[in-house]
């Protein structure tokens, strides 16, 4: 579509909620250390609040499993 994810704010917000839920669940299960989970949760909250959208550069609509979109989101979260 030649339209980066940054132009679809609700898509990024939804990704933030999904990644936040995963971090919270993994924290509760003890799968990841609490400090790591808290950092991920904070980063997800930043996305949910509308920050760092310009960092989402991949096309939001693509074929396959959406691997590039997921990797782009993971990179943004991990670098905050």
Report pLDDT digits (tens) over 28-58.
999 999 999 999 999 999 999 999 999 999 8
**Which residues have a Cβ under 8 Å from the Cβ of 10 and sit 6 or more positions away?**
none
Residue 47 belongs to domain with CATH number:
1.10.275.10
The range of the structural domain enclosing residue 16 comes to 5-78
| Of 15 and 4, the one with more pLDDT | 15
pLDDT of residue 76: 96
Structure tokens at 49: 């609040």
Q: What confidence category does residue 74 fall into, taking pLDDT thresholds of 50, 70 and 90?
A: very high
Both ends of the chain: CA-CA distance in Å?
28
- When the pLDDT of each residue in the chain is averaged and rounded to a whole number, the result is 92
Closest to 48 (Cα-Cα) out of 73, 79, 75: 73
pLDDT of residue 65: 77
Number of domains in the chain: 1
Q: Counting Cβ atoms within 10 Å, is residue 4 exposed (0-12), middle (13-18) or buried (19+)?
A: middle
Q: What confidence category does residue 2 fall into, taking pLDDT thresholds of 50, 70 and 90?
A: confident
């Amino acid at each position: 579509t030649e339209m980066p994810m940054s132009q679809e704010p609700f898509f990024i917000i939804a990704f933030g909620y999904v990644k936040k839920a995963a971090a919270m669940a993994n924290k509760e299960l003890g799968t990841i250390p609490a400090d790591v989970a808290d950092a991920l949760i904070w980063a997800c909250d930043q996305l949910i609040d509308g920050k760092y959208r310009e960092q989402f550069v991949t096309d939001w609509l693509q074929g396959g499993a959406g691997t590039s979109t997921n990797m782009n989101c993971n990179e943004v979260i991990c670098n905050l």
